[in-house]
Amino acid sequence: GSKAPVSQTLAAAADEYLLYLRKHDGKDLKAKEMRFREHLKPHLGHKQVARLTDDDWLAYVAKRKGEGASPGTINRERSALLHMLNTMRRR
């Protein structure tokens, strides 16, 4: 498959990932699109995927908790992000 540039932002990677899921009958697509559009991209979209750190994630979690998100919600957002990263690595 096409190799994503190392400098690709999370926002660009998310758009590619969601497009890929649409073409390949991805599960839970509407929920994933919402998680990226409303939360992951606004907070982390400007970061380079290859340079995401634990600190970036912890800052995201703190921000989401401050917005009133439950641990379960944050965990589902984390799962969507990890699925994207694993899908990218496989391609």
CB-based contact 57:85 (threshold 8 Å): no
Number of domains observed in the structure of the chain: 1
Average of per-residue pLDDT across 70-81: 97
* The one-letter amino acid at 88: M
Quote the pTM value.
Answer: 0.87
**Given the structure tokens 């839970």, which residue do they identify?**
28
CB atoms within 10 A of CB 10: 24
Model confidence at 1, pLDDT cuts 50, 70, 90, reads: very low
Residue 4 domain flag: no
Residue 74 domain flag: yes
Residue 77 has pLDDT above 90, yes or no: yes
- Cα(25)–Cα(70) distance, rounded to whole angstroms? 28
CB-hemisphere CA count at 13 Å for 47?
A: 17
Residue 6 domain flag: no
Residue 80 domain flag: yes
Domain range for 61 = 28-90
Residue 10 domain flag: no
Residue 13 domain flag: no
CB atoms within 10 A of CB 49: 21
Residue 68 domain flag: yes
Residue 14 domain flag: no
